[in-house]
Copies of this chain bind each other. A is one copy, B any other.
Amino acid sequence: MQGLSSRAHAFSVEALVGKPCKRMKVSDSSLNEYPVSQMKKAGSSPRRSEDSSCDPETLAVRSGSTEADPGGEEHTPKESDRLPDREVRVELQGSELWKRFYEIGTEMIITKAGRRMFPSVRVKVRNLDPCQQYYVAMDVMPVDSKRYRYVYHSSQWMVAGNTDHSCISPRLYVHPDSPCAGETWMRQVISFDRVKLTNNEMDDKGHIILQSMHKYKPRVHIIRHDPRMDLSQIQSLPAEGVHSFAFPETEFTTVTAYQNQQITKLKIDRNPFAKGFRDPGRNRGVLDGLLESYPWRGPLSLDFKPFAVQLQGTVLYFSSQPWSSVSPLKTQLPFSSSSSFYPFSVSAFSCQDAAALHTLALPLYTKTSVVSPASPLPARAFSSLGADRLRGLPPLSPLTDLPLLSALQGKKPPHCRDPCLHGSPGSSPCLIPVHSPISPQGSASSLLPHLSDAAAGPYCLYRYSFPLNAQLAAISRHSKLTEDTTDCLLRQSPWHPTTNHCL
Binding site for B on A (CB under 8 A): 113-114, 131, 137, 169-174, 176-178, 180-181, 184, 194-196, 203-208, 227, 230, 232-236, 375-376, 378, 380-381, 386, 403, 405-421, 425
A140 to chain B, nearest CB (A): 12
Question: With contacts A172-B415, A415-B172, A416-B171 known, is A409 near B205, CB below 8 A?
Answer: yes
**Neighbour of A381 across the interface among B137, B206, B416, CB < 8 A:** B206
Which secondary structure dominates where chain A touches chain B? Answer: loop
**A171 nearest CB neighbor, chain B only:** B416
**Neighbour of A114 across the interface among B174, B178, B409, CB < 8 A:** B409
CA A171 to CA B205, docked complex, whole Å: 34
The residues of B that contact A235 with a CB separation of less than 8 Å are 381, 415-417
A16 to chain B, nearest CB (A): 35
The residues of B that contact A410 with a CB separation of less than 8 Å are 173, 176, 194-195, 376
A491 to chain B, nearest CB (A): 24
Question: With contacts A113-B425, A171-B417 known, is A380 near B233, CB below 8 A?
Answer: yes
**A421 nearest CB neighbor, chain B only:** B204
Q: What are 23 pairs between A and B in contact, CB < 8 Å? A: A137-B415, A170-B417, A171-B414, A172-B416, A173-B414, A173-B415, A176-B411, A176-B412, A177-B411, A178-B412, A194-B411, A196-B409, A204-B406, A204-B420, A206-B413, A206-B414, A206-B415, A232-B378, A235-B381, A235-B416, A236-B417, A375-B411, A411-B411
A127 to chain B, nearest CB (A): 20
**Neighbour of A206 across the interface among B114, B173, B232, B409, CB < 8 A:** B409
The residues of B that contact A411 with a CB separation of less than 8 Å are 176-177, 194, 375-376, 411-412
Given contacts A205-B407, A206-B414, A235-B381, 9 further A-B contacts (CB under 8 A): A173-B415, A174-B414, A195-B410, A203-B418, A204-B406, A205-B406, A205-B421, A206-B420, A235-B417
The residues of B that contact A415 with a CB separation of less than 8 Å are 137, 172-174, 206, 233-235
The residues of B that contact A196 with a CB separation of less than 8 Å are 409
A386 touches B204 (CB 8 A): yes
The residues of B that contact A386 with a CB separation of less than 8 Å are 204
A418 touches B176 (CB 8 A): no
Nearest 6 Cβ contacts at the A-B interface: A411-B411, A176-B411, A206-B414, A194-B410, A176-B412, A173-B414
CA A230 to CA B227, docked complex, whole Å: 13
The residues of B that contact A230 with a CB separation of less than 8 Å are 131, 181
A232 touches B409 (CB 8 A): no
A21 to chain B, nearest CB (A): 31
A401 to chain B, nearest CB (A): 10
Question: With contacts A171-B414, A206-B420, A411-B376 known, is A181 near B232, CB below 8 A?
Answer: yes
Question: With contacts A205-B406, A425-B205 known, is A180 near B416, CB below 8 A?
Answer: no
The residues of B that contact A178 with a CB separation of less than 8 Å are 412
**A178 nearest CB neighbor, chain B only:** B412
**A418 nearest CB neighbor, chain B only:** B204
CA A230 to CA B130, docked complex, whole Å: 12
A42 to chain B, nearest CB (A): 11
CA A461 to CA B503, docked complex, whole Å: 50
A389 to chain B, nearest CB (A): 9
The residues of B that contact A207 with a CB separation of less than 8 Å are 409, 414
The residues of B that contact A204 with a CB separation of less than 8 Å are 386, 403, 405-406, 418-421
- In the complex, which of the residues A171, A234, A407, A421 has the most CB atoms of chain B within 10 Å of its own CB atom? A171
B232 touches A180 (CB 8 A): yes
The residues of B that contact A203 with a CB separation of less than 8 Å are 418
CA A172 to CA B418, docked complex, whole Å: 10
B184 touches A232 (CB 8 A): yes
CA A159 to CA B57, docked complex, whole Å: 72
A312 to chain B, nearest CB (A): 23
CA A421 to CA B205, docked complex, whole Å: 6
B409 touches A233 (CB 8 A): no
B172 touches A205 (CB 8 A): no
A175 to chain B, nearest CB (A): 8
CA A196 to CA B419, docked complex, whole Å: 17
A412 to chain B, nearest CB (A): 4
- In the complex, which of the residues A174, A376, A407 has the most CB atoms of chain B within 10 Å of its own CB atom? A174
A497 to chain B, nearest CB (A): 15
CA A206 to CA B412, docked complex, whole Å: 11
CA A194 to CA B410, docked complex, whole Å: 6
CA A81 to CA B265, docked complex, whole Å: 62
The residues of B that contact A205 with a CB separation of less than 8 Å are 406-409, 420-421, 425
B409 touches A194 (CB 8 A): yes
CA A208 to CA B169, docked complex, whole Å: 44
CA A375 to CA B409, docked complex, whole Å: 13
